[in-house]
Structure 1
Amino acid sequence: MSTEWRDCTLGEFVRLQRGHDLTASEQQSGNIPIMGSAGPNGTHNKALAYGPGVVVGRSGASAGRVHFSALDYWPHNTCLYVTDFLGNSPRFAYYLLQTLDLASFNSGSAQPSLNRNFLYSIPLKIPTRLEQDGIVALLSTLDDRIALLRETNATLEAIAQALFKSWFVDFDPVRAKMEGRAPEGMGETTARLFPDSFEESALGLVPRGWRVGTLGEHTSYLSRGISPKYIEDGGVIVINQKCIRDFSLDLSKARRHDPAQRKIDGRGLLKGDILVNSTGVGTLGRIAQVLSLDNPAIVDSHVTVMRTDSSLTWNYLGLSIMRRQAEIEGMGEGSTGQTELSRGKLAILKLLIPPIAVLQNFDDVVLPLRERFSANQTQAQSLATLRDTLLPRLISGQLRLPDAEAAEEALA
């Protein structure tokens, strides 16, 4: 460890203050971010703190969480905010505070609460400003790369969903042909696959000749997972409800199952499988699709797996089901805290069944976008893992900057 690192307390590193009240009636239209316990929470027309700034969740479930604002902001009374960095790098302070278990300094009882005076005594080791800036440069580069990949993926997903909506919700190619126009964005061969009229169905007007079926009729597999026998290492990946959020899979929250204690024959996931959270208020109905799978994986008993049969493509079924997440969230049954989504409810969900030739042409256009989405997601998760591994070691001085830079370059 560098001899230039000095011992101090958190109170000698930064100064904190409780945020300021701002009721809904007092909030005014503007572009100043309001920073609260859980991070950005709306905007206002006035700032009380200069950016770059750092806030720490002061109360509630988000107590101890650390957030960064590059802009001037209004610090809400649900947070503590840094009023003076005492010559230290604001971004370094943000990274350092994330490595501390601030929530454990709870001074409340039923409602978690942080008191700055309790935090000030936390012992720290702090490098020189020059080294702080070097650490920030490395970690910020990783953060920026992750953010760019996620922004790119948001665009790719929006394009895929827009094309799905055009073909299978708004039926733009059919409407164009009805009006004597050539459908936009497709060649003549693809355009010929679409009819030029509609007919009534259980889902309302649909293109003539297209069918309506149920999920149960068009899936080869529709089942919950198992109750795993957990182990620390080896075995197979077990995806749980925490892994499924924002239509994506986060395998960093997965655990591992020992197949020697409980067999998984026939339960292994395949590329294209659709995963649906199936228990609990607030989690039930969340959907993600397996776009890539490098290692054997299963789901636990709180997640339902859907797998299309040969009448549909997994790309079409996945995008179709994701569009209906809100509907599926409302299909849970049971009392509060015991809500369940049954296989039977999912099985009777009505689906539009276009001709397979239409679906194959749709896949030709959209699958490359989703393959790129998957590659970006994998890279972003790798970079996040690297960042989260480097962060505490860099901040504590256990890892020197040149070694960390070499690890970052290996993933470039």
Structure 2
Amino acid sequence: MGSRGKVRSEEVQSNNWRTSRLEELATVIDSRHKTPKYSEDGLPMVRVVDVKAGPIDLSNAVKVTQEVYEDFSKGRDPEIGDLIISRVGSYGNICYVKTNEKFCLGQNTAFIVPKINWRFLYYQLLSPQVRTQIESLVVGAVQKTISLKNIKSLEIATPSKSEQKAIAHILGTLDDKIELNRRMNETLEAMAQALFKSWFVDFDPVKAKMEGRQPEGMDAETAALFPDKLVESELGLIPEGWGVGQIGNEVTVVGGSTPSTKKPGYWDGGTVHWTTPKDLSGSSDKIIIETARKITEEGLQKIHSGLLPVDTVLLSSRAPVGYLALAKVPIAINQGYIGMKCEKALSPEYVLQWCVSVMDKILQRASGTTFAEISKKNFKPIAVVVPFAQLIKIYSKIVSDIYSKIENNLRENSELSNVRDTLLPELISGKLNVSDWQ
């Protein structure tokens, strides 16, 4: 924000604000009310599950053929500044389009095409005033739904165009920085995974030395630590001199539990981080610094694994299997996790990326009739390559620096989100009036 504008507090909304129905401020376009046929390749289709605050993320979107796309797109490609709202189940979620990539909407979603500043309207739809309206308009006991008619009827307060632009800039600058940090973290995580895969899965440095080449991207001292031969093992070919163990023998595997929610003394005023897999859902960052709930010291006594130390590796063992994180705060876990304390040769960074590399094997060992779950008993025998200790140390030093950057970005994003969430209701209601904006 800097010196480009200033904000002054007002007791009431400015006189130049007016209230209009959403259908006066935007064109609302419903999706097709039918189930599409997905395909292996093609164009992305956005479903309710894909609609989350921020720019639309198409990385996990399903694909449809050109024919299906043309049907569901209704002859219109999305444009930058379009908003998307979910209508059924996870109703009322809002995201926006910020790229020119083509996609179509699946059922139970709708486009909101703004006639006013699109980013201002996006923040208005996230405001407490509008969220309250949405909650009052939802129908359905089992599958909660907001109709297209009710979406169009939402009452939206708007100031002048210049004030819309200023408010959108203030909040948008914060969100843009959050998004930049998120993308940086994805790149950093990819770097950590790529290095692990090269050194400890594909054995690229070993293969280079076998061919008489100097391993790429490392100094001579590090290259000297890699052998120049592959030998047979129960896992297939591995570098000569490296071992193979069971993960349960190489780390301390623990589980968790949930203190009785009927005992207020276990929860009220709690300060101890306590996590469920839900804390990791929707995040690509393999770091956890905050939990939705906290327990008391009395509650902690009811968890047999106790308070796990910083850098414990967490693997969600059910609902669903496969979320991963390094704990960057002392933490207690519920029964939906396998915790790995790295107290021997294998470092936390190595174990985390090893879990990524063998996730197919982990999932294959999960079982269950209601939902998939992997038990500690089935997890512990999974085979793990154990490289020379010095190589693990070098890898971990490189990757711990990467995860420090990821952690710093996460902490900054937490602060930025708090600032945004504090400013949003004040700005969007007119209680904070933006003036002198260039």
What TM-score range do you get, normalising by the shorter chain? 0.7 to 0.9
- In structure 1, the residue matched to 2:388 is 355
262 and 36 in structure 1: CA distance in 2 versus 1, 3 angstrom threshold: closer
- In structure 2, the residue matched to 1:17 is 29
C-alpha distance after superposition, 1:313-365 (max 9, x if no partner): 2221121112223332332222123x432111111111101110111122233
- In structure 2, the residue matched to 1:409 is none
Asked if 1:381 is matched to 2:432, the reply is: no
Q: Secondary structure at the match of 1:227?
A: coil
Q: Secondary structure at the match of 2:167?
A: helix
Unaligned 5+ segments in structure 2 are 1-11, 52-57, 261-265
Structure 1 residue corresponding to 2:402, chosen from 353, 357, 369: 369
214 and 401 in structure 1: CA distance in 2 versus 1, 3 angstrom threshold: farther
75 and 64 in structure 1: CA distance in 2 versus 1, 3 angstrom threshold: farther
Structure 2 residue corresponding to 1:78, chosen from 90, 95, 108: 108
Asked if 1:284 is matched to 2:284, the reply is: no
- How high is the sequence identity, in percent, across the aligned residues? 30
Maintained 8 Å contact 1:53/1:71? no
Asked if 1:308 is matched to 2:342, the reply is: yes
Mapped to 2, the partners of 1:395 and 1:175 lie a distance apart of 60
C-alpha distance after superposition, 1:265-318 (max 9, x if no partner): 8622222211111223xx12221122x32xx42112222210112222222112
C-alpha displacement of 1:255: 0.3
C-alpha displacement of 1:113: 3.3
Q: Secondary structure at the match of 1:285?
A: strand
Structure 2 residue corresponding to 1:231, chosen from 253, 267, 270: 267
Unaligned 5+ segments in structure 1 are 406-412
- In structure 2, the residue matched to 1:254 is 292
131 and 308 in structure 1: CA distance in 2 versus 1, 3 angstrom threshold: same
C-alpha distance after superposition, 1:177-197 (max 9, x if no partner): 111222222222222211111
C-alpha displacement of 1:89: 1.3
Mapped to 2, the partners of 1:340 and 1:113 lie a distance apart of 31
Mapped to 1, the partners of 2:45 and 2:317 lie a distance apart of 34
Q: Identify the structure with bigger relative contact order (alpha carbons < 8 Å, sequence gap 6+).
A: 2
Greater CA drift, 71-80 or 141-150: 71-80
- In structure 1, the residue matched to 2:313 is 274
Asked if 1:214 is matched to 2:246, the reply is: yes
Mapped to 1, the partners of 2:211 and 2:152 lie a distance apart of 71
C-alpha distance after superposition, 1:107-166 (max 9, x if no partner): 456544332322344444332222221111011111111111111111111111111111
C-alpha displacement of 1:374: 1.8
Describe how 1:5-404 pairs up with structure 2 within 5 A. 5-20=17-32, 35-37=46-48, 38-39=50-51, 40=58, 41=61, 47-48=76-77, 50-59=79-88, 61-70=89-98, 76=105, 77-83=107-113, 85=115, 88-99=116-127, 100-101=130-131, 102=134, 105-107=137-139, 111-219=143-251, 221-228=252-259, 230-245=266-281, 246=284, 248-249=286-287, 253-263=291-301, 267-280=306-319, 283-290=320-327, 292-293=328-329, 296-337=330-371, 339-401=372-434
Maintained 8 Å contact 1:279/1:340? yes
Equivalenced residues, count: 391
C-alpha displacement of 1:247: 5.0
Mapped to 1, the partners of 2:218 and 2:114 lie a distance apart of 58
Q: Secondary structure at the match of 1:341?
A: coil
C-alpha distance after superposition, 1:79-98 (max 9, x if no partner): 2222453xx21111111112
Query: TM-score scaled by structure 1?
Result: 0.84
Q: Secondary structure at the match of 1:238?
A: strand
C-alpha distance after superposition, 1:7-52 (max 9, x if no partner): 444444434232357986799x988x75554345458575355442
C-alpha displacement of 1:207: 0.7
Amino acid in the other structure paired with 1:215:
I
Greater CA drift, 249-258 or 190-199: 249-258
Query: TM-score scaled by structure 2?
Result: 0.79
Q: CA RMSD in A?
A: 3.0
Mapped to 2, the partners of 1:202 and 1:190 lie a distance apart of 27
Greater CA drift, 123-132 or 39-48: 39-48
- In structure 1, the residue matched to 2:3 is none
Q: Secondary structure at the match of 2:366?
A: coil
